[in-house]
Amino acid sequence: MSENVLKIDVDLRIDKWGWIDSYKKFIIAGLRSLGYGVKKIIVKESDSKKGIHIWVHLDKKVDDRTKNMLQFLCCDDKTRVRINYYRIEAGIKNWNKLFSKVLYRKPLEPPCSECKLIKYLKEVEVDVDNEIRGEGKG
């Protein structure tokens, strides 16, 4: 059953801004353009009340890599998408989880705090954010 459900974490309260109907129309149109029909969209406030969780029920099953891509295209949290990508590549079966809150985040210590990969991912994240805002390197 969950093979056809997209789980999306949006860290903004677009429901309070009056954008949820437009968001749903956008998701339906975008998925339709890629050949997927939408049976149902469920929107719930996250436990933290800082965002919303969205479940999009598709008309057909999708493989894990495609599901992660579709979730990204539906505006899923970019860090969650990246973590899910690595979970899928590692063969983790139950990779697609929505969490309500962070229980604990251990500070990074050397050598992890100095890791080139972590620094690179943070730089890429900033570049992507700037590009989205139209502030690219240009």
Q: Which is nearest to 59 in space by CA: 85, 74, 40?
A: 40
H or E element at residue 5: strand 5-10
- Which residue would you say has higher pLDDT here, 81 or 97? 81
Instruction: Give me the CATH number covering residue 27.
Output: 3.30.70
What is the C-alpha separation between 49 and 21, in angstroms, rounded?
A: 19
Co-location of 24 and 38 in the same domain: yes
For the full predicted model, state whether its pTM sits above 0.75: no
Co-location of 66 and 113 in the same domain: no
- Which residue would you say has higher pLDDT here, 83 or 131? 83
Q: Which is nearest to 7 in space by CA: 95, 132, 101?
A: 95
Q: What is the pLDDT of residue 136?
A: 58
Q: What is the pLDDT of residue 70?
A: 97
The count of structural domains within the chain is 2
Co-location of 58 and 125 in the same domain: no
Model confidence band, residue 127 (pLDDT cutoffs 50, 70, 90):
low
What is the C-alpha separation between 91 and 50, in angstroms, rounded?
A: 31
Model confidence band, residue 114 (pLDDT cutoffs 50, 70, 90):
confident
What is the C-alpha separation between 17 and 119, in angstroms, rounded?
A: 34
Co-location of 16 and 55 in the same domain: yes
Q: Domain of residue 129: give its range.
A: 106-138
Report CA torsion sign: 86, 43, 63, 73: negative
Co-location of 24 and 61 in the same domain: yes
Among 92-96, 97-101, 106-110, which stretch is predicted with the lowest mean pLDDT? 97-101
- For the stretch 19-74, pLDDT in tens is 999 999 999 999 999 999 999 999 998 877 888 999 999 999 999 999 999 999 99
Co-location of 62 and 13 in the same domain: yes
Q: What is the pLDDT of residue 1?
A: 46
Co-location of 93 and 125 in the same domain: no
